[in-house]
Amino acid sequence: MGHSGNLQLKVVNGDAGYVLEDVPHLTDYIPDLPTYPNPLQFNAAYSVVKQYFVNVDDTVSQKIVVHKDSPRGTHFRRAGPRQKVYFVSDEVHACIVTCGGLCPGLNTVIREIVCGLYHMYGVSKILGIDGGYRGFYSKNTINLTPKVVNDIHKRGGTILGTSRGGHDTSKIVDSIQDRGINQVYIIGGDGTQKGAAVIYEEIRQRGLKVAVAGIPKTIDNDIPAQRAINAAHVEAESIENGIGVVKLMGRYCGFIAMYATLGSRDVDCCLIPESPFYLEGEGGLYEFIEKRLKENGHMVIVIAEGAGQDLLAESLQSMNQQDASGNKLLQDVGLWISHKIKDHFARLHKMAINLKYIDPTYMIRAIPSNASDNVYCTLLAQSAVHGAVAGYTGFTVGPVNGRHAYIPFNRINERQNQVVITDRMWARVLSSTNQPSFLSANELAKFKREKPSCPVVG
Ligand SMILES: Nc1ncnc2c1ncn2[C@@H]1O[C@H](COP(=O)(O)OP(=O)(O)OP(=O)(O)O)[C@@H](O)[C@H]1O
Ligand SMILES: O=P(O)(O)OC[C@H]1O[C@](O)(CO)[C@@H](O)[C@@H]1O
Ligand SMILES: [Mg+2]
């Protein structure tokens, strides 16, 4: 096996096309750090487990479907507790911060980091950073103990508060250094993980013994999305030529819309950012709506917030505004498409339609996590704790083929995880809704030629 690339990209090549995209370790830039036996081996709950510690060489394969002669492909370091750790309990001074928009499960992750550190590693100095990244330098901190976080998983939102913008790297790292923090747990979406990567780089430049662990936000809880779709369906089928339009989250990717559509079976058309569509003419959306209304008397359209933004830019003056984090402020595609459909059918005269528009965004984001989300959040949190205590840094924890792994920040941040419309899952959506693909033969061929993105974080 041999290392290649610079220190920032720890790529290890092995036999038969095996590639490990490894995560940084504190010893990469602080040599001769002492190690200690993992206190978990003295913990009655874990000592009974046959092989509790993860072997140092364990990795998780990104590719699950393989062929006889194909290279083994990319792997990530397996998450979990290590036999040796790089911190003693008394030495650890951890902090937790939540950034970006809300998501169910933030409180569960906070709770499980606190309880994991406390119960598994005997850590008692844990600070909550108030109000996202800017809280490092502009707010007071909150002491977190298992008692403080005991029942926070039952509440939506984040007890720590959150914000967009305010990522001042030097001020944040100054604050980490001044407070003597040596483990930083950062919970949030794509922007947050980018911010975490910059913090890690600065910490590394300063040569600090501080582990930086990212925990991704994911919205798996689709119950409110199902409720919104259900309401749209009930409204639509109760009235002649009823159309229910539901806008779901997804600025750049249509996973929520896609899975909500597949889960519901009431949806007649699902529109996502990855799959372009058009309104007028043969094979267009208006033609499909007319056909479906004639067949069924009603229909439901689910649209991801980032879908059709090119069409909006054409017909509305582009705003080109950004939020405090630098995200492009999108025009409300749900409202826009509702108006376009109403206008179109009003102009046609031959068909009176009744359209109801539902935007459940904040209802989806603000609820507490459900029981299965809680299990998932617990695994994420505990994996992050095990990784940081074992000296890994500059990583985001995430599931890879059902196993938790440590993924380097650069890998997470290099590209957006998107629905691949030439994959089977999107075909399942099209066959469940029976909607047109809105793609010409040329466009389809182009999509097929494009290299698919490799989703690593669920
Ligand atoms: N490229 C970047 N470099 C440094 N900090 C960043 C970067 N992008 C975003 N951030 C910071 O990360 C935090 C969260 O970013 P953002 O508001 O985009 O939310 P997010 O984590 O992407 O979650 P979501 O988009 O789901 O709400 C903000 O404080 C923002 O300033
Ligand atoms: O109003 P806010 O809090 O900026 O959030 C709106 C955005 O946040 C998200 O819910 C992501 O967290 C997007 O889907 C949405 O565009
Ligand atoms: Mg984001």
DSSP code for 328:
B
Domain co-membership, 316 together with 430: yes
What CATH number does the domain containing 372 carry? 3.40.50.450
Is residue 458 included in any domain, yes or no?
no
Is residue 49 included in any domain, yes or no?
yes
pLDDT of residue 318: 57
SS3 content of the chain, % helix, strand, coil (to 5): 40, 20, 45
pLDDT of residue 220: 60
pLDDT of residue 319: 64
pLDDT of residue 439: 84
pLDDT of residue 341: 97
- pLDDT 10s digits, 292-336: 999 999 999 999 999 999 898 876 665 678 899 998 888 899 999
- pLDDT 10s digits, 85-103: 999 999 999 999 999 999 9
Domain co-membership, 103 together with 235: no
Q: Whose CA is nearest to atom 11 of ligand 2?
A: 101
DSSP output for 112-146: HHHHIIIIIH----EEEETTSTTHHHHS-EEE--T
Please report, as a single letter, which amino acid is at residue 278. Answer: Y
Q: With residue 409 as reference, give the H or E element that holds it.
A: helix 409-414
Total domains in the fold of the chain: 2
Asked if 113 and 72 touch (Cβ cutoff 8 Å), the reply is no
Is residue 284 included in any domain, yes or no?
yes
- Residue 170, pLDDT > 90, answer yes
Domain co-membership, 380 together with 407: yes
Which atom of ligand 2 is least distant from the CA of 164?
Answer: 4
- Residue 76, pLDDT > 50, answer yes
Cα gap 442→137, rounded to integer Å: 53
Closest to 133 measured CA to CA, from 157, 183, 168:
168
pLDDT of residue 310: 87
DSSP code for 224:
H
Is there a catalytic annotation at residue 220? yes
- Residue 456, pLDDT > 50, answer no
Instruction: Identify any residues that bridge with 355 across adjacent strands, giving them in sequence order.
Output: 243
DSSP code for 365:
H
Radius of gyration, alpha carbons of the chain: 24
Which atom of ligand 1 is least distant from the CA of 189?
Answer: 21
> What value, to the nearest 5°, has the Cα angle with vertex 133 and ends 127 and 137?
70
Query: Of 48-62, 358-372, 434-448, which range is least confident?
Result: 434-448
Q: What are phi and psi of 156, to 5 degrees?
A: -75, 180
Q: Whose CA is nearest to atom 8 of ligand 1?
A: 191
Domain co-membership, 198 together with 56: yes
Q: Whose CA is nearest to atom 27 of ligand 1?
A: 101
Domain co-membership, 324 together with 352: yes
Domain co-membership, 432 together with 297: yes
Is residue 455 included in any domain, yes or no?
no
pLDDT of residue 223: 79
Is residue 431 included in any domain, yes or no?
yes
Q: What are phi and psi of 219, to 5 degrees?
A: -105, 105
Exposure on the CB side of residue 250, measured as CA atoms within 13 A: 28
Give a three-class secondary structure readout of 373-389. Answer: HHHHHHHHHHHHHHHHH
pLDDT of residue 250: 93
Is residue 267 included in any domain, yes or no?
yes
Quote ipTM for the complex.
Answer: 0.99
Domain co-membership, 57 together with 177: yes
- pLDDT 10s digits, 238-292: 999 999 999 999 999 999 999 999 999 999 999 999 999 999 999 999 999 999 9
Predicted TM-score of the model (pTM): 0.94
pLDDT of residue 3: 41
- Residue 7, pLDDT > 50, answer no
pLDDT of residue 449: 72
> What value, to the nearest 5°, has the Cα angle with vertex 414 and ends 411 and 417?
90
Domain co-membership, 427 together with 442: yes
Q: What are phi and psi of 312, to 5 degrees?
A: -65, -40
What residues flank ligand 1, with Cβ below 6 Å? 99-101, 132-133, 163-167, 188-192, 194-195, 198, 217, 325-327
The neighbour count for residue 171, using CB atoms within 10 Å, is 15
pLDDT of residue 196: 98
Average pLDDT of the residues of the chain = 92
If pLDDT is split at 50, 70 and 90, which confidence band does 455 have? very low
Cα gap 434→270, rounded to integer Å: 10
Domain co-membership, 338 together with 440: yes
pLDDT of residue 2: 38
Domain co-membership, 14 together with 91: yes
Q: How many angstroms is it from 165 CA to the middle of ligand 1? A: 7
The residue-averaged pLDDT of 434-448 equals: 82
Q: Are strands 94-98 and 298-304 parallel, antiparallel or unpaired?
A: unpaired
The residue-averaged pLDDT of 367-394 equals: 96
The proportion of the chain whose per-residue pLDDT surpasses 70, expressed as a percent, equals 95
Q: How many angstroms is it from 50 CA to the middle of ligand 2? A: 44
DSSP code for 401:
T
Q: What are phi and psi of 326, to 5 degrees?
A: 95, 5
Kindly give the residue spans of alpha helices, DSSP state H, lying in 5-65: 44-47
Which atom of ligand 2 is least distant from the CA of 101?
Answer: 12
DSSP 3-state of 43? coil
Is residue 457 included in any domain, yes or no?
no
Active-site hit among 220, 323, 332, 359: 220
Range of the structural domain that residue 16 is part of: 10-220+367-414
- Residue 396, pLDDT > 80, answer yes
Domain co-membership, 289 together with 377: no
Q: Whose CA is nearest to atom 22 of ligand 1?
A: 191
What CATH number does the domain containing 353 carry? 3.40.50.460
Is residue 320 included in any domain, yes or no?
yes
Domain co-membership, 304 together with 404: no
Q: How many angstroms is it from 52 CA to the middle of ligand 3? A: 35
> What tokens does 6 get?
């610079």
